Structure 1
Amino acid sequence: AFLTLLEAEKSQRAIHFTSIERFPLSEDIVRELAYPETIAPEECEKFYALHTAPWNQEVKISPYFTLHKIEGDFTHFSFSECYDVVYFDAFAPEKQPEMWSQPLFDNLYRQMNPGGILTTYCAKGVVRRMLQAAGFTVERLPGPPGGKREILRATKERT
């Protein structure tokens, strides 16, 4: 969310960001991680505003970034909107198997706008095949520097 907020402001593009969290981090852990101090120290206040924003309502963090945090279980969430981008940031299938199912990816595909993109750090073949079975066109891309070797980008074709 923080990197998206920074990009929204840089490009002056309005973003409505929805995050569904079942186990949100405590404020103590968020501050201990000191993430914004590494990425964009001049924007620390906005980073912490993301974490202290109230749950289950839209909050305007900046002129270009509105956050809607939902405290809930993603695997049982009823989507009411369609999305352009999904950052699928679940733990690995071995650690969190309930997040990696064909019905879940089928549902995400239905909730994506044409041309919508889903990205995930998990580049396993089984995940790629589930995304393809849902209808996405899937590509393996180089991962971030110093991190994962590959990531997946799944795109819903434009109609």
Structure 2
Amino acid sequence: FIKPQAPREAYPSHFCLQIILKVIKMRREETTRFSLDICVVFIEHWKDMADHEKSAIWYTDRDSMEIQCSILKTIKKNRSSPTTNDRCMRGLEHMRSPEYSEQRKNNKNIVRSAVFSEQNRQTSLGIIDSEEIRNVSLAASQWARDLALSTGASDAYETQQNTTL
């Protein structure tokens, strides 16, 4: 299958790789813990709530419009000056440029295609090997894990810089 390409700015720097390794080490040391305390909270049905209660919980149409305007402003600022922009693009990366968006879409299609091809191969051979489908998916989507680790490392570094100032 065709190997997906990571967007150019997605390749981790040496510093990011060091942070990625620290994050991986921390994850190995973490365990999941569950509280023994049980707390049941009853939530009133939305139809029984007053308007002011609903607007305190959910976005209003006005809130949604303000969010959309803020998103558009962020995208425009980032496109005009991506390095000197003070607005965060987290979650909006796919809107950075048409090329960036197209590359990510192509990468996702490559992963799907690889999995579907493997499923078709197995069907034609009369076998079921979910582990091999998993391996094909993992190999084809490595770019996404690399990008996520790089982004996380960058966020961790930025957070650390902002909290130590």
Q: Same fold (TM over 0.5)?
A: no
User: Larger Rg: 1 or 2?
Assistant: 2
TM-score (norm 1): 0.23
Whichever structure has more helix as a proportion of its residues is 2
TM-score (norm 2): 0.23
